[in-house]
Chain A
């Protein structure tokens, strides 16, 4: 038996919007730790890892570890039917091939339940090694989204380079080139607008912009994004979910042969 009650149901709505374009179907894993997911996109270039810790739920009951295969498109359709202020409860019985999403309005005058069919999905978990990153950039998530969107209109790939001067995002396409430099800016009064660069070594890596633009769908989840880079390693783009966990995207680089 599984019963997870999330007062801030909008978090789950935002999570689905953040991952449904990258991954079609995925297994959600439920354990005492929390509600989690790890899945690759169909071309195996990007990987998304989601964790919603059990402590973040109002009520969290998970009698035994469960893995539930879901179509993220269909799950997003169902969660779109929840109001932004609704309390969302996820329920499943042992051995059932369905999951129920219950939506309660804040004043309890409207209660809806949506039952969704589960599916069998073959998926393998990948071991993500602990890594010391050469450079970690923390910046406003809206700024990162804007940069990826703007560069995506000019080129297909972004070169991210971190130096003492700041972080530079560059692209080139048929119409020309673009470079955007963000310098460290530790706004004390508005921490959500800060750009903080921790650099052990200068690092330059190349990535496909369409994935970066897909990751930016997580922008409504967090005011800040953390980008961790090391030469010849996948970049980690992390959006923290307040009090609950995170959505982390890993993207394999493009490497000159």
Chain B
């Protein structure tokens, strides 16, 4: 099935 990505893959740490 499709892979669950994490939010940190899209939004970077400040």
Separation of A254 and B9 alpha carbons in the complex (Å): 12
A residues lining the B interface (CB < 8 Å): 40, 43-47, 124-129, 157, 206, 208, 233-234, 250-257
Q: Give the bracket for the number of chain B residues in contact with chain A.
A: 10 to 19
Name B10's contact: one of A208, A234, A254 (CB within 8 Å): A234
B7 and A46 contact, CB distance less than 8 A: yes
1/0 per residue B1-14: CB within 8 Å of A?
11111111111111
Q: Which B residues are in CB contact (< 8 Å) with A255?
A: 2-3, 5
Chain B interface (Cβ within 8 Å of chain A)? Answer: 1-14
Contacts of B13 in A (CB 8 A): 124-127
In contact, B12 and A252 (Cβ under 8 angstroms): no
Assuming the contacts A40-B7, A44-B8, A250-B7, asked whether A125 and B14 have C-beta atoms less than 8 A apart, the reply is yes
Which residues of A sit under 8 angstroms from B6, Cβ to Cβ? 43-45, 252
From A47, which residue of chain B is reached at the shortest CB distance?
B7
Partner of B14 from A40, A47, A126, A208 at Cβ < 8 Å: A126
| Chain A residues whose CB sits within 8 angstroms of the CB of B14 once the complex forms | 124-127
